[in-house]
Amino acid sequence: MNKKIGQILRTRIGEENYEKLLEIKNPKLHEFLAVFIELLNPSKVFVCDDSEEDVNFIREEAIRNGEEKRLALKGHTIHFDGYRDQARDKERTKFLVPKGTDLGPHIPSTDRDEGLKEIQDIMKGIMRGHTLYILFFCLGPANSGFSIPCVQLTDSSYVAHSESLLYRKGYSEFKRSGGKRFLKFVHSEGDLDDNKTSRNIDKRRIYIDLENEIVYSANMQYGGNTLGLKKLAMRLAINRASREGWLTEHMFLMCVHGPNGRKTYFTGAFPSLCGKTSTSMVPGETIVGDDISYLRKMKGEIRGVNVEKGMSGIIMGVNSKDDPLIWKVLNSPGEIIFSNVLVTDGKVYWTGKDGEPPKKGRNHSGEWAKGKNDNEGKEVPPSHPNARFTLDLKLLDNLDPELDNPEGVKVGGIIYGGRDSDTWVPVKESFGWEHGVVTIGASLESETTAATLGKTGVRKYNPMANLDFLSIPVGKYIQHHLDFSRSVKNPPKIFGVNYFLKDPKGEFLNEKTDKAVWLKWMELRSHGEVEALRTPTGLVPKYEDLRKLFREVLKKEYTKEEYSEQFKIRIPESLEKIGRITKIYKTEVKDTPAIVFKILEEQSKRLEDARKKFGDYVPPDSFL
């Protein structure tokens, strides 16, 4: 260790913590820590070496300092974020890039030199009176080709506790590898008010320095802005993956169990509130991860891992009927952090939970009673729509045994799903990799609901459900996907699903449980064991195959009338969609690969030809 750096660290962190750092032979790490300890100026420093004693110290710190409180069930705690600190702050989340760099209109950025000066001024001395926790983690399984070591600096024991549930321990990985090229996260909750929530929201910032792979976040506690290894690390990893030839995706990773004990792994990307977690948790299947996956080419095949080892899910609407596996965990003893739900006598309630809501309690707004309004006259719900639960996946009965396989799992299929009331069929398969990337992944949209914007049917473009997290231009990202299957002999099939198709009266055409059947069909298709009908927009199931699966999986009859209505090709709506997507790529994405327009034009021509032959709405059997 450099003598000057060693002196700073030994003086500021004490002998015991200093000895922990000496175990890691990485001068760049030591320099990074020294620079930021001096900048942040904490009153105390704690280095976590991942021992049970150290991890438990952080758990107890969260209780002692009031960032969490114990609940009635053993291991359960509650954390509240500030009333104005309940979601990702898109406006103040920016990439720091050299002057003149243009990432495109969808990716917010600012001048790197100016941004660094601003954030460092905000963070100078911000931890005075606080304890700085230094934590080491590993994204992906340890000692693996997927592994990315990370170091997190935070003065929030809630953030530190949450990450210990969500991410694999990394201190040993740093000792083993020296930390190689590690990602760096610097967070401070800033000054706290009497409720132990961040006071200076006007100085809230999330700045991402791609050059040095450092994420800064200040004056907030909400997990989406402060849990550095989640979507913030994802942005850094997308940038790194684009340079190194692999993929960082906003995807679950699950196993669908096929005939004769066969296991087939699928990834899936869905925008928020489109069925992502519920798909990964379908009863009878097993989960590897619910949120972020790394995909790499290994020995001629695509393999994937779950970046995390835990789950931080939206809790609104979780109930015993639709979510039996999560419901069981949330109502059993075990280490779980709830955030921004209603607490009454040590018990939690969230919107959509079984049973009647209590008439009073404490939530993210403080003391709450039914009918309470905030300062703007808006009624305060019992729990925030973005309220969460955070837990280790090991609590789930349906956890797949391959979670920590250092080689990952072979990906047999890739699923994209949006919220679409009138266009996509419930499940379809692309004609091939490029067709799937362009017409399904890069054409993904999600309709807004009245609950979110007060206006229904507004379609939001969201390629690969990853637009909010891209750190490279959209066109480059799509080209990277198109190139990824090269040198792979049999790339995974690409599927599109839609759980939100409606009839003319506005009623949903499918039950929530039907997704279990679509998964089984996709599993069979990934092995070529059932045939499909070739329509202008992709391959769809045959009726007899679905009828058999509905009987086997859900023990119910599936009628020909249901099939014909659900899987008919809606040509006017499909052409409108192609028009919308083409316009976006022509006007908003200046580096769109030419093949995108070629594939969309080909699909448009197939639809026009089908309309001349069959009319606007074509039953699937017309393509027999």
Domain end among 245, 263, 282: 245
pLDDT of residue 450: 46
Residues 614 and 552 in one domain: yes
Write down the residue that tokens 């009863």 correspond to. Answer: 283
* In 292-365, alpha helices (H): 324-330
Which CATH number do you get for residue 437?
A: 3.90.228.20
Residues 225 and 374 in one domain: no
Decide if 54 is inside a domain.
yes
The rounded distance, in Å, linking the Cα atoms of 121 and 351 is: 40
pLDDT greater than 90 at residue 268: yes
User: Are 501 and 426 a contacting pair, CB within 8 Å?
Assistant: yes
Residues 344 and 361 in one domain: yes
Write down the residue that tokens 């309630």 correspond to. Answer: 349
Decide if 338 is inside a domain.
yes
Region of residue 465 (phi > 0: left; psi between -120 and 50: alpha; otherwise: beta): left
Residues 353 and 448 in one domain: no
Tokens of 253: 């990773």
Looking at residues 329-346, what average pLDDT do you find?
97
Q: How many domains does the chain have?
A: 3
Residues 254 and 367 in one domain: no
Instruction: Write out the H or E segment, with its range, that includes residue 288.
Output: strand 286-289
The gap from C-alpha 365 to its chain's centroid, in whole angstroms, comes to 26
- The one catalytic residue in 48, 138, 150, 274 is 274
Residues 379 and 455 in one domain: no
Confidence tier at 456 by pLDDT (50, 70, 90): low
Looking at residues 228-245, what average pLDDT do you find?
95
The gap from C-alpha 304 to its chain's centroid, in whole angstroms, comes to 15
Residues 385 and 407 in one domain: no
409 Cβ neighbours under 8 A, 6+ residues apart: 253, 255, 265, 288, 303, 304, 305, 402
The gap from C-alpha 204 to its chain's centroid, in whole angstroms, comes to 22
Looking at residues 107-122, what average pLDDT do you find?
95
The rounded distance, in Å, linking the Cα atoms of 295 and 184 is: 22
Which CATH number do you get for residue 132?
A: 3.40.449.10
Decide if 45 is inside a domain.
yes
Domain end among 395, 427, 448: 395
Q: In what order do the strands lie in the sheet with 347-349?
A: 347-349, 342-344, 360-363, 366-369
pLDDT greater than 60 at residue 451: no
Domain end among 194, 228, 245: 245
The DSSP call for residue 356 is P
Is 255 assigned a catalytic role? no
Tokens of 622: 């017309």
Decide if 201 is inside a domain.
yes
State which residues form the domain around 381: 312-395
Decide if 563 is inside a domain.
yes
Please tell me the least confidently modeled range out of 31-35, 191-195, 508-512: 191-195
User: Are 604 and 576 a contacting pair, CB within 8 Å?
Assistant: no
SS3 102: coil
Residues 296 and 367 in one domain: no
Residues 290 and 202 in one domain: no
Residues 509 and 472 in one domain: yes
Residues 209 and 176 in one domain: yes
Q: Tell me: the pLDDT tens digits for 592-614? A: 999 999 999 999 999 999 999 99
Tokens of 507: 């009623």
Decide if 74 is inside a domain.
no
Global confidence as pTM: 0.95
User: Are 558 and 513 a contacting pair, CB within 8 Å?
Assistant: no
Decide if 86 is inside a domain.
no
Which CATH number do you get for residue 356?
A: 2.170.8.10
Q: Tell me: the pLDDT tens digits for 303-317? A: 999 999 999 999 999
SS3 536: coil
The rounded distance, in Å, linking the Cα atoms of 543 and 604 is: 26
Q: Tell me: the pLDDT tens digits for 218-227? A: 999 988 888 9
Please tell me the least confidently modeled range out of 174-183, 390-399, 400-409, 469-478: 174-183
Residues 352 and 468 in one domain: no
Percent of the chain with pLDDT over 70: 98
Decide if 432 is inside a domain.
yes
The rounded distance, in Å, linking the Cα atoms of 406 and 168 is: 12
pLDDT greater than 70 at residue 453: no
